[in-house]
Amino acid sequence: MAVHPTGRRNRAVAVVLLTLGALGGLIWTAQRIAEPASRHEVRASLSAVEPLTGDDTIGYARALEPRVFEFPRDHGPHPDFRTEWWYVTGNLEAADGREFGIQLTFFRNSVASSPPERSSAWNTNQLWMAHAAITDVANDRHVYGERFARGAVGLAGAEPAPFRVWLGDWEMRGPEGGTPLQEHPFPLELEAAGEDWALHLTLGEGKPPVFHGEEGLSRKGPEPGNASYYYSFTRLPAHGRLEVEGEPVAVSGLGWIDREWSTSALGTAHTGWDWFSLQLSDQREIMYFELRRRGDGTPDPLNHGSLVEPDGTRRPLSSSQVELESLGTWESPLDGTRYPSGWRLGIPELGIELQVTPQVRDQEMNLAFRYWEGTVSVEGRGVGGASVAGRGYVELTGYDEESFAPPSTPGVPASPRE
């Protein structure tokens, strides 16, 4: 899952981006090192949840019922829907055992249901944003960057075959010889760089795509159309090179890709979500998300996920099957926003009992909108109670707009790292 700016705030961003485009196609780039900052150094940001709610749906396609996915076409863009993303996370290791997490995400957003009628190469109703991050676990560092561009004159876009998604020189691309007969875009090359960091990675083909919810229709609200089309590649072999502060490091490990598009996935009752992607040592993966309701922050009965078996088959998970408990908190140095930090995730009927721990506590993305997205370690019991370990990623949104305190758990410290 991911988040996008729309509504009143999004239209303000659109004005900025279109102005930048008119001034020569400038792509605005921001990158910074996530080091402790003064509480007064809080930047203005967009809502992380408003984008997927609201009633700005006229003229857009809606996710109303299950569909037949067609590849490679569905790896490409769906401009008749309002929002869309290509979302890669990965956990990697160097030869000396140093651990890293990576994120590279491309967001497409329509600011109107149809392109402008004016005849100009600059005219477009599509705006693009990209986020990238590297977590250096051993050095307790999280670096990240952001870019914006309009979807015109080649500044940003997506193509299904040969597969490519790009914003400036940040990109995901499949084989140059890829054709409409190639179903999936592997090997997939990832490229992104900031002032003092870079990632150059290759994702190989792993398990087949997993279609979440009802054959890929992921419902996130009770109203018709409050859903997305959602599939993932949950275990992809990865290798390549990272650079942090100019130091090149050869790495290998596992990647995960989420693909999702929608027009208004969330209902207005939601304030944010917690999303988990876990890759376990028993060759299983778990995706689960928990939507939080406004007011009391309680989870929604529509929460769901998937358990992916070693052979790639999917076992659906409902909210009644999954127990998710926060074990502590982390407080942002920017303004004191509190996020959960450490979790117990259980699926009692399968014997699963996992503890999920952030690899680095501060993996907050303070960009156009704020959220926490970071690498985690996993240990505990897997299917049938067998011992397992693993790595994964967690995304937390909406906490800058609500007060959060975890349930009181006797004997559990404020943070799993304390």
Q: What is the CATH number of the domain that holds 291?
A: 2.40.370.10
Radius of gyration of the chain (CA): 20
Residue 180 has pLDDT above 90, yes or no: no
Q: What is the pTM of this model?
A: 0.85
Using 50, 70 and 90 to split pLDDT, how confident is the model at 309?
very high
Residues 376 and 356 sit within 8 Å (Cβ to Cβ): yes
Mean pLDDT of 63-80: 95
pLDDT at 41: 38
177 inside domain: yes
Residue 31 has pLDDT above 70, yes or no: no
Please state, as a whole number, how many other Cβ atoms lie within 10 Å of the Cβ of residue 80: 14
* Neighbouring residues of 120: CB distance < 8 A, sequence distance ≥ 6: none
Residues 217 and 172 sit within 8 Å (Cβ to Cβ): no
54-63, 220-229, 365-374, 386-395 — which is least confidently predicted? 54-63
102 in helix, strand or coil? strand
Mean pLDDT of 94-103: 98
406 inside domain: no
Mean pLDDT of 19-28: 34
221-235, 264-278, 335-349 — which is least confidently predicted? 264-278
Please state, as a whole number, how many other Cβ atoms lie within 10 Å of the Cβ of residue 5: 24
Mean pLDDT of 125-151: 96
Residue 418 has pLDDT above 50, yes or no: no
353 inside domain: yes
124 inside domain: yes
111-125, 157-171, 177-191, 364-378 — which is least confidently predicted? 111-125
Total count of domains within the chain: 1
pLDDT at 178: 61
Mean pLDDT of 92-116: 92
Mean pLDDT of 162-173: 97
Residue 408 has pLDDT above 70, yes or no: no
Q: Give the integer Cα–Cα distance in Å for 296 and 314.
A: 32
Using 50, 70 and 90 to split pLDDT, how confident is the model at 403?
low
Residue 187 has pLDDT above 50, yes or no: yes
pLDDT of 116-133, one tens digit each? 777 788 888 899 999 999
The pair of structure tokens assigned to 91 is: 């956990």
The pair of structure tokens assigned to 250 is: 């050869």
pLDDT at 5: 36
Burial of 216 (0-12, 13-18, 19+ CB in 10 A): buried
Residue 319 sits in which domain range?
7-401
178-182, 213-217, 334-338, 386-390 — which is least confidently predicted? 178-182
415 inside domain: no
Residues 356 and 345 sit within 8 Å (Cβ to Cβ): yes
9-18, 104-113, 137-146, 357-366 — which is least confidently predicted? 9-18
299 inside domain: yes
pLDDT of 313-339, one tens digit each? 999 999 999 999 999 999 999 999 999
What average pLDDT does the chain have?
84
Residue 21 has pLDDT above 60, yes or no: no
Provide the CA 29 distance to its chain's centre, in angstroms.
19
pLDDT at 405: 54
Residue 268 has pLDDT above 70, yes or no: no
DSSP state at residue 370: E
pLDDT at 113: 73
Residue 80 has pLDDT above 60, yes or no: yes
> Phi, psi at residue 398, to the nearest 5°?
85, 0
Using 50, 70 and 90 to split pLDDT, how confident is the model at 200?
very high
Mean pLDDT of 364-386: 96
414 inside domain: no
Residue 199 has pLDDT above 90, yes or no: yes
